[in-house]
Each structure stands twice: as C-alpha cells, then as structure tokens.
Amino acid sequence: MLGNRAELGGAAVVTAVAAFFLYFSFQIQEPMTGDPLGPRWLPIVLSSFILALGLMQCWIALREPADAHDQLIAHAPTGHAGLGMVIIASLLTLAYAGTLELLGYALATVLFAIIAYFVCGRRSLPMAIVSGAAMAACFYLLFVFGLQTALPTGTIFGGL
C-alpha cells in the first residue's frame, strides 16, 4: 500500500504546483500590442494540462489496488535499464528538435512518434504509423488552427 500513498502524494504535489501556476498565469497582464494570444496563453495551457494530468494521477492512485501498483513497478526498468531508457528518450527528443527545421513538422513528428513507440517496447509497425500520424495531425490542428502558429515546413523535401 505504500506505493499507492507515495504515488498519491506525488500526484497531489504535481496538482498543487499546477494549480499555483495556473492561478498566477491568470495574473499576467496583457500588453496592448494587438497580439490575439498575448503572453498568458502558454502558461495557462501548460498549467491546465499539468493540473488535469495530476488530477488523473490522483484518481488512478486512489482507484488502483496496491498489488496492481506493485506489479507495474516490478515490470518497470530499473537500474541501468531505467537510466538507459531515460538517456535514449532524451537523445530521441534532442534528435527530434534538431531535425524539425530540416524535415518539417509533419515528417519529423511522425518519425519521432514511430521511434518512440518502439523504444517503449511496442512491436506493431502499423499501429506505430497510425498513432504517430494521428498524434502529428492532432498537434498540427492545435497549433495551426487553435493557436494560429506557423509550424516548420522543412527544407529537405521542399516543404513536405
């Protein structure tokens, strides 16, 4: 049962910190520049997402029996394997950021998602392609239409 209490405590801290940041994000003054979004939108969106994730994690920790938590932890990579996963994920993220301008948002994001899918231990190539394309499409819609932000089109394939 200690695992659930520790998880609940961590989730409660994340939720409290996110609520704190969300509160203060609304205190940011809007400049009179005519920018439709202003400087507040990013802290508000990020704080809201983190708050929602923290609340979901609290809910999961309260609903999940202790033995299910222990089984999940038993299968998690630890020691050198866990450190290796963190290093691989960090290098993959750096490679994604480094190739974004060259490949463009669409291609770089789909490739990143497919590789991340396999790094996480999944083995279905069709599912990796579908989930990578769906993720890229959702974020494209969010950034281009929701936030009215231009995404990199890439230089290697002439703006694929």
Residue 41 scores a pLDDT above 80: no
Q: What pLDDT does residue 101 have?
A: 81
Asked if 43 and 60 sit in the same domain, the reply is: yes
Task: Identify which of 40, 47, 61, 45 has the alpha carbon closest to the alpha carbon of residue 14.
Answer: 47
160 pLDDT more than 60: no
Q: Are residues 88 and 70 in the same domain?
A: no
- Tens of pLDDT, residues 53-106: 888 888 877 876 655 555 555 555 555 556 777 777 788 888 888 888 888 888
Q: Are residues 87 and 72 in the same domain?
A: no
Mean pLDDT of 34-52: 77
Is there a single domain that holds both residue 71 and residue 122? no
Q: Which helix (H) or strand (E) holds 129?
A: helix 125-141
Domain boundary residue among 76, 99, 115? 76
Whole-angstrom Cα distance, residue 139 to residue 146?
Answer: 10
What's the number of domains the chain is made of?
2
Considering the domain architecture, whether residues 84 and 145 belong to the same structural domain is answered as yes
Domain boundary among 76, 101, 120: 76
Boundary-marking domain end, from 76, 92, 126: 76
3-state secondary structure of 77: coil
Backbone φ, ψ for residue 42 (5° rounding): -65, -50
Q: Please indicate, yes or no, whether residues 90 and 58 belong to a single structural domain of this protein.
A: no
Tell whether 148 and 98 lie within a shared domain. yes
104 in the same domain as 53: no
How far apart are the C-alpha atoms of 98 and 154, rounded to whole Å?
12
> What would the mean pLDDT of 147-154 be, rounded to a whole number?
77
Residue 151 has pLDDT above 60, yes or no: yes
* Residues 112-149 pLDDT 10s: 888 888 777 777 788 888 888 888 888 888 877 877 77
Q: What pLDDT was estimated at residue 66?
A: 57
The boundaries of the domain holding residue 8 are 1-76
Same-domain pairing of 88 and 160? yes
pLDDT score of 46: 85
Determine the pLDDT at residue 147.
74
